[in-house]
Structure 1
Amino acid sequence: MLDMNTTTYTPVHDGTKERATLSPPLKLALILIGIAGLVAAPFFFYPVLVMKILCFALFACAFNLLLGYTGLLSFGHAAFFGGSAYFTAHAVKVWGLPTEVGILVGVLGASILGLIIGFLAIRRQGIYFSMITLALAQMFFFFCLQAPFTHGEDGIQSVPRGYLLGFINLGNQMNMYYFVMAVFLAALFIIWRIVNSPFGMILRSIRENENRAISLGYSVTRYKLAAFVMSAALTGLAGGLKAIVFQLATLTDVSWQMSGEVILMTLLGGIGTLIGPIIGAGLIVTLQNALATSQFPVTVITGIVFMVCVLLFRRGIIGEFYNSRIGRKFGLNTES
């Protein structure tokens, strides 16, 4: 559960001491089914919509690396998402860099921002940490509003998709989709490796009991900063992809509302779970797309969905499923 006084996530345990575990063949089969579903998705759904879901799913997974596994609630992750979108768009359109290099420029820019913001915020805890990230992100928002290269409220428009590796035309929707899918799967694997590495175990120990981690000799500040920068870099990857997909980078990408959206996606799906943020992002983006042409206010409907989730699914959709009888029977956990 999320405690706003300490801004840490504490999993709710059900007292079950032993669980069965999914067999490796079954895990492999589920992974292959998921990949097959992604490969087939553009043949059944609008490719741009699926690409948008993948971009925001990566954004939510990167944010969850900080909140769900380290216990740090940032209110300023839009700075990394939107900042990378601006850096990527400018590098590709103005500097004429190849698409993949432009995205790497965005990731590098987001990493530097993460290092600066993280260095200033990481020394505070709880709500003070969250407020510092929000304040610094708002400072970056006003910088983007005034900086000449961002073109103010007009944003950077008509960003060329270019050619991947010099010969794959990303102007083709299917080529662009499979590029985004490949990057998403690679980033998801990186997050899985981080979470299941000794480094990830230390992050979880910090989340559960920071004082005990300090007593064991770990430099908690360094681990937090490292997690913050990793989260910012992966968020930047999502922002760079989004700029190329929509050929646009605007102030919406760096606004505080964007930070709120990714928090909503992560909480809705289930913080501290690997696929929860993906489910949450898919639901929110699909809901926004479905209501875009209706008379219903999107934010009100989204808020109602969030209230229902908080009241009925305290652990999020995936978190509740893991804690259900079926989840306990098959030994599903946050790394499943």
Structure 2
Amino acid sequence: MSHGAAHSAGPDEGVVALHPKAPTIRLVIIGLLILGLIFAPWFAYPVFVMKLMCFALFASAFNLLLGYTGLLSFGHAAFFGGAAYFTAHSAKVWGFTPELALLTGMAGAALIGLVIGMIALRRTGIYFTMITLALSQMFFFFCLQSPFTHGEDGIQSVPRGHLFGVIDLAPTMNMYYFVFAVVMLGLLVIWRFVNSPFGMILKSIRENENRAISLGYSVISYKLGAFVMSAALAGLAGGLKSLVFQSATLTDVSWQMSGEVVLMTLLGGIATLTGPFFGAGIVVTLQNYLATSSFPVTILTGLVFMVCVLIFRRGLIGEFYASKLGQKLGYRTET
């Protein structure tokens, strides 16, 4: 037997042995992250952390579509901003409680997602992406001219109200833990969705759509289901943001917002559950601490993005998952 044949018969050198306590270590890491968010208001400005959590949920909702379904949308600002308007209007004008206002925003975002999805999913690739951008811009001009949005002034002084008619959300700490609970619930829904049979089919469609069709799956229906779910969760994030800042403005539905969520997801790592959270943290932190600086935030954000693309092609968390340490802990990326 030749040396080459003997070498090929050996164990696969690319396989990294799983750490014997990998599940426990992963649970400890998750627990520490959750504890960090619980006690964050004592060490950081609570409104800043609430904004970070809202955008983390937004990026995670977008990642559900891009990372696990393989669909790149440039129209997610319509869902995020649309739900912000619906939530703000229902809370201020109709007097809805916070939970009902959020549900109204989610329902509105899901409806917009259904309409846009039914139109855009008739095409694939760059054509799908450009259709979502065009329809999102149409919604932007609708919000600009519609009376209930108050045009360029937006909806201001939105009351946070009383949760279930009992808990006053006007105090910052009460609002913080409400946002924390909703965001954790949203991330749990995304995790369950991704790891369900439906999620497995979405991954198979992403990897080989023709094979999924040959197996008898209605690919369009599954894509539309993922699109609407992503829109609804993006709407939940937008509704939360409108309650946190007590306003809904045209910035929430602008095309720049769609670009920001793409940036957050790519920086953190697509097809990872925690990647969008870290990506949102980077972008929101840069925006917050450079807001009073004379240096253009967009330029620095672009430079950070270029560095990550050149050095961390899978995103920050994606590269960690692909490293030997990440594999030892049982992490994996779907990309």
> 1:267 & 1:307 partners in 2: Cα distance?
11
Q: Is the 8 A contact 2:65 2:71 kept in 1?
A: yes
SS at match of 1:157: coil
AA at the equivalent of 1:43: W
Residue 158, structure 1, aligned to residue 157, structure 2:
yes
Instruction: Kindly provide the CA deviation profile for residues 132-178 of structure 1, in whole angstroms up to 9, marking residues without a partner as x.
Output: 00000000000000000000000000000111111211010000000
How far apart are residue 29 of structure 1 and its match? 2.1
> 1:188 & 1:122 partners in 2: Cα distance?
25
Instruction: Kindly provide the CA deviation profile for residues 45-79 of structure 1, in whole angstroms up to 9, marking residues without a partner as x.
Output: 00000000000000000000000000000000000
Residue 20, structure 1, aligned to residue 18, structure 2:
yes
AA at the equivalent of 1:190: V
Q: Is the 8 A contact 2:62 2:261 kept in 1?
A: yes
Q: TM-score, normalised by structure 2?
A: 0.94
How far apart are residue 15 of structure 1 and its match? 8.8
The 1:229–1:16 alpha-carbon spacing in structure 2 relative to 1, beyond 3 Å, is farther
> 1:19 & 1:193 partners in 2: Cα distance?
27
Q: Which residue number corresponds to residue 69 of structure 1?
A: 68
Moved beyond 4 Å, runs of 4+: none
AA at the equivalent of 1:149: F
Written as runs of structure 1 = structure 2, the 5 A alignment for 1:106-121 is: 106-121=105-120
Q: Which residue number corresponds to residue 191 of structure 1?
A: 190
How far apart are residue 16 of structure 1 and its match? 3.6
> 1:304 & 1:201 partners in 2: Cα distance?
35
Written as runs of structure 1 = structure 2, the 5 A alignment for 1:135-284 is: 135-284=134-283
Instruction: Kindly provide the CA deviation profile for residues 257-300 of structure 1, in whole angstroms up to 9, marking residues without a partner as x.
Output: 00000000000000111100000000100010010001100111
Q: Is the 8 A contact 1:141 1:251 kept in 2?
A: yes
Q: Is the 8 A contact 2:25 2:329 kept in 1?
A: no
> 2:207 & 2:13 partners in 1: Cα distance?
17
Instruction: Kindly provide the CA deviation profile for residues 235-264 of structure 1, in whole angstroms up to 9, marking residues without a partner as x.
Output: 000000000000000000000000000000
How far apart are residue 123 of structure 1 and its match? 1.5
Q: Which residue number corresponds to residue 288 of structure 2?
A: 289
How far apart are residue 220 of structure 1 and its match? 0.4
Count residues in correspondence: 322
Q: Which residue number corresponds to residue 3 of structure 1?
A: none
> 2:301 & 2:18 partners in 1: Cα distance?
36
Residue 52, structure 1, aligned to residue 48, structure 2:
no
AA at the equivalent of 1:54: M
AA at the equivalent of 1:39: I
Where does the alignment leave 5 or more consecutive residues of structure 1 unmatched?
1-13
Q: Is the 8 A contact 1:268 1:317 kept in 2?
A: yes
- Identify the range of structure 1 (76-85 vs 305-314) with the bigger mean alpha-carbon deviation: 305-314
How far apart are residue 331 of structure 1 and its match? 2.3
Where does the alignment leave 5 or more consecutive residues of structure 2 unmatched?
1-11
Task: Kindly name which structure, 1 or 2, has the bigger radius of gyration based on alpha carbons.
Answer: 2
> 2:159 & 2:61 partners in 1: Cα distance?
26
> 1:94 & 1:266 partners in 2: Cα distance?
34
| RMSD of equivalent CA atoms | 1.4
Q: Percent identity?
A: 71
Q: Which residue number corresponds to residue 321 of structure 2?
A: 322
SS at match of 2:74: coil
> 1:76 & 1:188 partners in 2: Cα distance?
21
Q: Is the 8 A contact 2:51 2:241 kept in 1?
A: yes
Q: Which residue number corresponds to residue 304 of structure 1?
A: 303
> 1:102 & 1:19 partners in 2: Cα distance?
49
> 1:75 & 1:232 partners in 2: Cα distance?
12
Instruction: Kindly provide the CA deviation profile for residues 165-217 of structure 1, in whole angstroms up to 9, marking residues without a partner as x.
Output: 11211010000000000000011011000111111110000111111111111
> 1:320 & 1:107 partners in 2: Cα distance?
33
> 1:295 & 1:319 partners in 2: Cα distance?
33
> 2:35 & 2:330 partners in 1: Cα distance?
24
Q: Which residue number corresponds to residue 9 of structure 2?
A: none
> 2:97 & 2:262 partners in 1: Cα distance?
32
> 2:312 & 2:161 partners in 1: Cα distance?
43
Q: Is the 8 A contact 1:269 1:279 kept in 2?
A: yes
- Identify the range of structure 1 (325-334 vs 64-73) with the bigger mean alpha-carbon deviation: 325-334
Q: Is the 8 A contact 1:118 1:229 kept in 2?
A: yes
The 1:251–1:19 alpha-carbon spacing in structure 2 relative to 1, beyond 3 Å, is farther
